[in-house]
């Protein structure tokens, strides 16, 4: 893969640098995720279900910010792969809840191990402490910008459901 040119940070603009790293991270992550016969949107949904537990299917569309009809397709793919299970809601039999299966937990754990390796490779210019500091800074910037954190990193978002 050809390297993307890095825009000079002489004006102290972080946007181009973040964009460059995000593109590289996205490309490498998507390539690795494809080895598991999944896409990034599947991993985000699995992560959300792992971290928040069984939840109404309708909630997924809202939290993931995708059209409800697309959630149905997404869940069909995950259910066919044996990674999630849809159940009738005990509170309203017309509705479904979605839960991660044991296979879903295992597949997500394997994917996360690979993604940690990808992130370390992309951020190889930083040591462990610097990567931790970057994560903290990005978390603060994301929360301050008013982004709905739950879809990006559910395990670290208190109260985003």
* pLDDT, position 25: 96
What is the third-level CATH fold of 19-143?
Arc Repressor Mutant, subunit A (1.10.10)
pLDDT given at position 6: 64
For Cα atoms 76, 80, 85, give the angle at the middle one, nearest 5 degrees. Answer: 75
Task: Return the domain boundaries, the chain.
Answer: 19-143
**Residue 10 has what pLDDT?**
60
Contacts of 49 (CB under 8 A, 6+ apart): 55, 84, 98, 99, 100, 104
pTM, 2 dp: 0.77
How far apart CA 87 and CA 56 sit, in angstroms, is 9
pLDDT of 120-152, one tens digit each? 999 999 999 999 999 999 999 888 776 555 445
- Below-50 pLDDT ranges, the chain: 150-151, 154-161
């Amino acid at each position: 893969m050809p390297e993307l040119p890095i825009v000079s940070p002489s004006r102290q603009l972080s946007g181009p640098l973040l964009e460059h790293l995000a593109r590289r991270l996205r490309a490498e992550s998507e390539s690795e995720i494809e080895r598991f016969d999944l896409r990034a949107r599947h991993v985000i949904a699995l992560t959300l279900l792992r971290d928040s537990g069984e939840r109404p299917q309708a909630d997924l569309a809202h939290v993931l910010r995708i059209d409800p009809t697309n959630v149905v397709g997404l869940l069909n793919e995950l259910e066919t792969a044996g990674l999630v299970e849809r159940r009738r809601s005990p509170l309203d039999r017309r509705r479904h809840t979605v839960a991660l299966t044991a296979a879903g937990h295992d597949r997500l754990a394997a994917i996360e191990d690979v993604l940690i390796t990808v992130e370390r490779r992309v951020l190889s210019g930083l040591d462990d402490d610097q990567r931790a500091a970057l994560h903290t800074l990005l978390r603060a910037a994301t929360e301050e910008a008013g982004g709905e954190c739950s879809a990006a990193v559910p395990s670290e978002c208190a109260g985003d459901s």
